[in-house]
Amino acid sequence: MLWKRTGITIRNKRSMIITIARQCGCGALDVGKILARYYGIPLYTRKSLMEAARGKGLLSEMEDFFEERPVDELMSAITFSFDRDDVQEKFCKAFRRVVGEGDYVLIGRCGNFIFRDRPDLLSVFLHGEPERRITHIMASEGLSRPEAEEFVRDTDDRRVAYHKFYTGLNWGNAPDYDICLDVCRLGAGKTAELIEEYADAAGLPHPSEKQCPAAREM
């Protein structure tokens, strides 16, 4: 299996993008890192996206989007009653300017919607049982149980509002993704392995046997 190989492999020059939407506390970043190393492609996270946007002079207009900040329901209704398509086109175009049309793993940021027209897209939604996610956040963030429960609940609520504002879709709706996996039950390694197997079965680009250095986190 791919996770038992001794080296890091890189795919052929065919393009590929993996987008990962996730519930809070399910360890999606670990899955993203494994996939990025395996495919030899960059991993884009909030921090790296903001750095890239700053370098291209786009941070001021994209900061709220990269931070996945919630949008007031009234403002959302007012905005989309007039120019839903304009809002979507603007942020999609600006986002593509930041990351380009290359190959990468993208955590969050409505990736499944932004790149929905790319034939090489593999969109993933990661979820998990609430108790396990709360326990993970308690350990990773050093929070008490009540604090972790509130953190998980508020973060997921923000992502629901954020996704709805920018896409008009319901966050976590299974038909909007290629594959949905319970990472808390499977673990990061097995989850990443199943994503790679799905990509291969679906005929998406897969790594060659050429060895290369581990991919950097963008």
Q: Domains (ranges, CATH) in the chain?
A: 2-211 (3.40.50.300)
- Tokens found for residue 196: 């790679």
The mean predicted confidence, pLDDT, of the chain is: 83
Confidence at residue 101, expressed as pLDDT on a 0 to 100 scale: 79
CA-to-CA dists, residue 32 to 44, 50, 81, 106, 191, angstroms: 9, 18, 36, 8, 10
The conformation of residue 25, written as its DSSP 8-state character, comes to T
**In this model, does residue 208 exceed pLDDT 80?**
no
pLDDT in the model for residue 30: 97
Query: How confident is the model over 81-96, as pLDDT tens digits?
Result: 546 667 778 888 888 8
Q: Of 36 and 9, which is predicted with more confidence?
A: 36
Q: Are 126 and 181 in contact (CB under 8 A)?
A: yes
Element (H, E) at 54: helix 46-55
Using pLDDT thresholds of 50, 70 and 90, give the confidence band for residue 42. very high
Range from 18-22, 78-82, 129-133 carrying the lowest mean pLDDT: 78-82
pLDDT at 216: 44
Dihedral of CA 200/133/175/167: which sign? negative
- Cα–Cα distance measured from residue 56 to residue 204, given in angstroms and rounded to the nearest whole number: 31
Q: Among 38-42, 192-196, 206-210, whose mean pLDDT is lowest?
A: 206-210
For the sheet containing 121-127, what is the strand order?
43-44, 104-107, 17-22, 121-127, 179-182
Asked if 164 and 14 touch (Cβ cutoff 8 Å), the reply is no
Average pLDDT over residues 55-75: 77
Top-confidence residue, 216 or 39:
39
Question: Length of the chain, please?
Answer: 218
Pairing of strands 121-127, 179-182: parallel
**In the numeric block, which tokens belong to residue 101?**
């049309």
Q: By C-alpha distance, which of 103, 85, 120 is closest to 44?
A: 103
Residue 4 is predicted with a pLDDT of 31
Q: Is the pLDDT score of 206 beyond 80?
A: no
Q: Which residues pair with 179 in a beta bridge?
A: 124
3-state secondary structure of 68: coil
Share of the chain above pLDDT 70, in %: 80
Q: How far apart are CA 134 and CA 20, in angstroms?
A: 20
Give pLDDT tens digits for 89-148: 888 888 888 988 789 999 999 999 999 999 999 999 999 999 999 999 999 999 999 999
Contact criterion met (CB below 8 Å) for 61 and 80: no
Say if residue 75's pLDDT is above 80. no
How many Cα atoms within 13 Å fall on the side-chain side of residue 148? 18
pTM: 0.83
What pLDDT is attached to residue 193?
97
